[in-house]
Amino acid sequence: MRVLSGIQPSGRLHIGNYFGMMRPALELQERGEAFLFIANYHALTTVHDADALRRATWEVALDFLACGLDPERTAFYRQSDVPEVCELAWLLSVVAPMGLLERCHSYKDKIARGISPSHGLFAYPVLMAADILAVQAEIVPVGRDQKQHVEVTRDIAIKFNNEFGPVFRVPEPAIRDEVAVVPGLDGQKMSKSYGNTIDLFGDPAETRRRIMRIVTDSRSVAEPKDPDACTVFALYRLFATEEERRTMAERYRAGGLGYAAAKQALAEKLEAHFEPMRLRRAELAASPDKVEAALRRGAERARAEARRTLAAARRAVGLD
């Protein structure tokens, strides 16, 4: 089974990224042939600072390797190191219906948030289709908010195959339900757009301060509390064992547990979980050649697949 996943380097990664995308992507190493890319072409739709893009791309590479990505088992690469996807995106664009792209929710949502409309933003799903189809991925794990883009990829692949011949494998989406259950400081979905995140490898003191700012209700220490309606508990359960979750939930319902104490418990669990990764990340940051070598090996594997796919597509349309 060949699986592909990608993440944009549009800012520092947070624990919502970790539980929603990173950890499921790392688990793919155990289940099949995995391709994972840093989507820096895609990031250009919103990031127009060259230094910021380079820095964010590098930070994402460090984060994934620190969290356990094995470059021997996963083809890990920068999207821009596989330029074949850009030519493939053009070949796909000639069969991509305008109406299909106009119906994409992501484009509408970004415009509604004040992002300036551009062709890149509009054509984002076509480039995403090229990413997927270039390596002939069978499975694409996505959150529910990205499922439509995989469906667009399927539609474009089927249309191209019908028009020019069977070039592309039609992928299937695998929905990651975890994405929807990682709340931010305000209880909304954790997102850089909302400014409600807890950074994955942020300064420990700042991380604790952010945790102490999590929004809760006004119940006193003595009053019973509903763990299922509490953002602090929702985050705590991500790091805790089943027994620890049960014990904490009982303390909530019994009363006598203040939100400050619950936040303190969350901070300790978070620090313990990420401390080994933080140390590994520091080692990687001190050995940039190792990180670069891992990215280049991944790019070589991805390019080998992309070249074969592009050559077949070029022959199909008459460009050989």
Active site residues: 110, 189, 192
The identity of residue 135, as a single letter, is: V
The continuous run of DSSP H or E covering 140 comes out as strand 139-142
Sole residue written with tokens 């230094």: 51
Q: 292-295: which pairs have CB atoms within 8 A and are 24 or more residues apart?
A: 294/61, 294/65, 294/71, 294/76, 295/61, 295/71, 295/76, 295/77, 295/78, 295/81
Half-sphere exposure of residue 313, counting CA atoms within 13 Å on the CB side?
A: 28
Give burial (CB, 10 Å; 0-12/13-18/19+) of 250: exposed
Tell me if 173 sits within 8 A of 147, measured CB to CB.
Answer: yes
